[in-house]
Amino acid sequence: MHKKLHRNINVIYGLAFFQSFMVIVPVIVPFFIEKGLSLADIFYLQAVFATVIVVFEAPSGYFADVFGRKNALVIGSVIHGVVYFYLNFADELTSLIIFEISVGIAASLLSGADLTLLYDTQKTLQDEAEIEHSKAISQLGFFRSSSEGLGALLGGALALWSFEVMVMVQSAAAWMCLILALLIIEPPYKKSK
């Protein structure tokens, strides 16, 4: 388990990278306009997404505490992958509302679970006096920021070529989260009751 927990750190960095690799975000407005939405529809969709995040953030943290952080990451990653694949076929406001609700639930399940897993992994390894906690958390932030920057650049370039290809790349990044989430070994922690 000791060696696998060390591997966890790099897996969590990869997971954070692909969670933050959002090629669609910089071009979401033109993407939705191409789908036939008005600016009012787009603002409505973003309000739906934000509301879902607010409503599900605390329950998803509780879910992760009770059922396991890895389980929250796996379920969130599956939803994330499925809904970005679904986005290729969502062409009207109703199907895009379903997309925004689903991606909001996935984002809530994914948010914070990687940081908590990193913290728990670090704590377990630190008990064995082998790792520096603050360095790993700052590196997690570096991977997220680097991913956001690369995703924005790639998203802009892909949007010039094809929105469909851009969505496929986004879906592939979401599925990478699942692959990495399955590789995580959950360190021991106190579960909520």
- The pTM for the full model equals 0.86
Note whether residue 145 is domain-resident. yes
Q: Which of the four pLDDT bands, split at 50, 70 and 90, describes residue 190? A: low
Which tokens hold the place of 3?
């060696």
Note whether residue 192 is domain-resident. no
Q: Which domain holds residue 76?
A: 2-22+48-183
Number of domains in the chain: 1
Angle between helices 2-20 and 113-127 (to 10 degrees): 160
Q: What is the model's pLDDT at position 5? A: 79
Note whether residue 39 is domain-resident. no
Note whether residue 169 is domain-resident. yes
Note whether residue 150 is domain-resident. yes
CA 149, 57, 4, 124 torsion-angle sign = positive
Note whether residue 53 is domain-resident. yes
34-88 pLDDT, tens digit each: 999 999 999 999 999 999 999 998 888 888 888 888 999 999 999 999 999 999 8
80-139 pLDDT, tens digit each: 999 999 998 998 999 999 999 999 999 999 887 777 787 788 777 775 544 566 677 788
> Which CATH number fits the domain that encloses residue 172?
1.20.1250.20
